[in-house]
Amino acid sequence: MHSLGTRFDSGFRPNLRHFEQRVKFQLQGLPDSADATAPCHTVKRALGTLPVKPRPLHPIARLPEEWQSVLTAQGERAFVARQVFSWIHKRGIFDPSAMTNLSTVLRDKLAKEGLGPVAEVAHVHRSADGTRKIVLRLSDGATIETVLLPGVSGPNAQLEVDADAAAADDDGEDEESEGPTNAPRIRVTQCISTQVGCAMGCVFCASGVAGLQRHLGPEEIVAQVLIGRALCDEGEQLRNVVFMGMGEPLHNYESTARALRLLTHVEGIGLSTRRVTVSTSGLVPEIERLGKDFQGQVALAISLHATSDESRSALMPINRKYPLAELLGALRSYPLPPRRRITIEYTLVSGKTTLLKKRCVFPNSFVDCPSRST
């Protein structure tokens, strides 16, 4: 949505007129060569609609009970399903031939069914502070980006975080299980993508320049975390995951929701829901659905970036469909557990937003909405 573009494309300067025209075409489903003067009534329609052809669930995207259903139908014993799930999601192994406690016959069946890597590392760009942008090439040749954000914490080291890592803050979660408290350790937050491109057309974001190409499958979302975990340096621990990369997570709701269930499953990666944050530009119905489906346990971040409908609509076309009043209503009704907060993200855009003048608006707008800004 915004993080990869703002972090790694600091030289990017969007052409606002180009964005307004391209977003109009994206929302209307028109080709880029269509009449630029055509009326843009469809901001209120299904935003960024993309035909989705139903496809079989990829093996990596199966939950343990789904593996059990598939494998017992093939004559395997129930416990084998959890062995397969553990190989994939706990050990990060995609190649059936490496799953040594499975029978050779089953390994061959899994390979024929299509179990295998869904992404490969094309490039790793490392910055001076240890941040790594990982470019992944998917099976169809499309590329996406995921980012590892390290931060050192401990009694002798001040925690270093940025907006993405702050969104995954655990609000005081007990950390006794992490080992000796006198040794600083490197905790890593990973920023992951949910789409190839993006339909939202936010003017400050590089991810949506080419529009939405396609949704990612849940297996491609989860694979980013499994690959990112394997690429952590010695002494680093992947602690938090934020859905803040390429794409709008809630526009690809089904894949995002299944990825959340896979990432937090106790028999797999086992991330706490407290350590997973979904960032959205403001799709109100999907915010409500996320709260209902996960009982508010998944942390929520809102890309706000402006405090008036006029300003926000100029920056983020989604605001024309779901203006601030509707968005704030959805945030107030989000079923937050005690002591949890919604993260409000605000980007300074030269000539468009001014945080110092707008900061006073936050207390009035969010007076009954537990939130923090980044």
Instruction: Please check the confidence at residue 187 and state whether its pLDDT lies above 80.
Output: yes
| Token digits of residue 71 | 């494998």
Closest residue by Cα to residue 241 from 258, 253, 229, 231? 229
- Cα distance between residue 275 and residue 75, in whole Å: 38
pLDDT of residue 172: 46
Residues 173-199: b if buried by 16+ CB within 10 A, e if exposed: eeeeeeeeeeeebbbbbbbbbbbbbbb
* pLDDT at position 223 over 60: yes
pLDDT of residue 156: 41
d(CA 359, CA 87): 48
Asked if 272 and 91 count as a contact pair (C-beta separation under 8 A), the reply is: no
CA–CA dist 28, 312 (Å, integer): 20
Per residue in 36-76, pLDDT (tens digit) is: 233 333 333 345 455 556 678 999 999 999 999 999 999 99
The pLDDT, as a whole number, for residue 44 is 39
pLDDT at 370: 60
Which amino acid is it at 108? D
Could you report how far apart the first and last alpha carbons of the chain are, in Å?
15
% of the chain residues with pLDDT over 90: 63
DSSP 34: S
User: Bridge-partner residues for 212, per DSSP?
Assistant: 197
Sign for the CA dihedral angle at 230, 234, 237, 243 comes to negative
**What is the tens place of the pLDDT at every residue in 250-285?**
999 999 999 999 999 999 999 999 999 999 999 999
Please report how the helices 218-230 and 253-263 are oriented relative to each other, as an axis angle in degrees rounded to 10.
Answer: 40
Mean pLDDT rounded to a whole number for the chain: 80
Whole-number pLDDT of residue 347 = 80
Helices and strands: H and E segment counts in the chain: 14, 11
Give the separation between CA 315 and CA 161, rounded to whole angstroms: 26
Q: What is the mean pLDDT of residues 351-358?
A: 55
Residue for token digits 């300067």? 13
* The predicted structure's pLDDT at residue 151: 83
Spell out a b/e string for 253-287, using b for 16 or more CB atoms within 10 Å of the CB, else e: bebbbbbbebbbbeebbebebbbbbbbbbbbbebb
pLDDT at 163 over 80: no
Mean pLDDT of 329-348: 91
What pLDDT is attached to residue 360?
A: 43
Distance between CA atoms of 133 and 142, rounded to whole angstroms? Answer: 16
222 token code pair: 């989860």
